Amino acid sequence: MFPHIKRRKTRTIFVGNVSIGGDSPIRVQSMTNTDTRNVKATIKQIQKLYKVGCEIIRVAIPDEKAIISLKEIVKESPIPVIGDLHFLTSLGEKAVNTGISGIRINPGTFKNRKNLERLVKICKERGTCIRIGINAGSLEKEILKKYQKPTPEAMVESALNWIEYIVEKYDYQNLKVSLKSSNWWDTVRAYELFSEKSDFPLHLGVTEAGGIIPGTIKNTMAISYLLLKGIGDTLRVSLTADPVEEVYVAYEILKNLGLRSLHPDVIACPMCGRCEIDLMRLYKKVEKWAKKVKANLKLAVMGCVVNGPGEAKHVDLGITGGKGVGIIFRKGKIIKKVPENELLSAFFKEIKKFLKEHPERYIN
Ligand code: SF4
């Protein structure tokens, strides 16, 4: 059913206790959009993200005040925290000292190499992972001069230079790399080129992708293309939306490629003139329920009894309606008829029964 994906061999690194690369699963990350200085709001958002499967969280470090909050956030967060740093200053060292598990740096914005040296030394002492986050919009002047514009080749050269500098000078290897551009094809080419030249794990993502619909499309095109080629060890689906949506989209991509699954897959028919129920309402309720459950399960919400059970016979359980009756089917066979207003509760009961019979379907 799924394409055969042979993952590129990368070295294993760690962000706190979460392994990335090697044989580790492809990790799902997100970034908070709260004000880091607001500890309560930031922790609340991290908890929400953790519940839906986010494994690593990144928070912005805009100033000194954020460093004070960061200490609290690190203490309270259920998942490893990465600090996001631009325009490297002494803030970097202070951030690492809060106990963060990783730091994302954008070398193109560095003005002072002394600060970088101090930062790498302290990351090495504390085992803090460094992400070299190359961004097409902020490449070093010398590289831009050589390539005329921020091409994928320019991004890769920048990344390799920084890796060489950090690895050779400090013998520090707990590194991962991202090569982002708002042009998804440039992003793809940069990752492809890089993966031919280095085995450091790759953090996938398309920057400035936009809102839920355009952003999901751009991210899915780039990330899926790369994952199909076996490239990518961790990812963030950047969206101008609630970061919880980023995590949902990330798992949808992984699930549809057969790489990882977390929540039940809910399929629904597109509806036609034969639809006999309020399918949209039912679908929304089932989908909402499914997002709270961690299990490998296929569910269906179909519009009519004539074709529904047959069209969705590959799923574990499904529902449809038919002239005032609610119908539940299992592997394509009708197992129950209930009054339409009892359909959802009867369906959830059947799912629980199914999971009791198949406890191996739960995902921890
Ligand atoms: Fe139409 Fe029924 Fe198929 Fe839905 S299941 S698309 S309502 S025929």
b/e for 70-86, b at 16 or more Cβ within 10 A? bbebbeebebbbbbbbb
Cβ of 145 below 6 Å from ligand 1: no
Q: In whole angstroms, give the CA distance from residue 219 to residue 7.
A: 19
Contact 202, 178 (CB under 8 A): yes
212, exposed or middle or buried, with CB in 10 Å at 0-12, 13-18, 19+? middle
265, exposed or middle or buried, with CB in 10 Å at 0-12, 13-18, 19+? middle
The domain segmentation of the chain, as residue ranges, is 13-256, 265-361
Let me know the angle formed at the C-alpha of 124 by 123 and 129, rounded to the nearest 5 degrees.
55
Cβ of 302 below 6 Å from ligand 1: yes
pLDDT value at position 1?
A: 56
Longest dimension (CA), the chain: 74
Selected from 2.30.30.40, 3.40.640.10, 3.20.20.20, 3.20.20.450, the CATH number assigned to the domain covering 13-256 reads 3.20.20.20
pLDDT value at position 305?
A: 84
Cβ of 318 below 6 Å from ligand 1: no
The answer as to CATH 3.40.50.300 being correct for domain 265-361 is no
Measured from the CA of 306, which atom of ligand 1 is nearest? Answer: 2
Cβ of 292 below 6 Å from ligand 1: no
| Single pTM value for the model | 0.90
Contact 221, 228 (CB under 8 A): no
Measured from the CA of 270, which atom of ligand 1 is nearest? Answer: 6
Cβ of 273 below 6 Å from ligand 1: no
Q: In whole angstroms, give the CA distance from residue 259 to residue 281.
A: 30
Tokens 């089932």 sit on residue: 286
13-256 and 265-361 share one fold: no
User: CB atoms < 10 A from the CB of 357, how many?
Assistant: 8
Cβ of 313 below 6 Å from ligand 1: no
Q: Give the chain's length.
A: 364
Q: How far is CA 194 from CA 88, 286, 343, in A?
A: 24, 42, 52
- Ranges of residues in the chain with a pLDDT under 70 are 1-2, 88-89, 111
pLDDT value at position 88?
A: 62
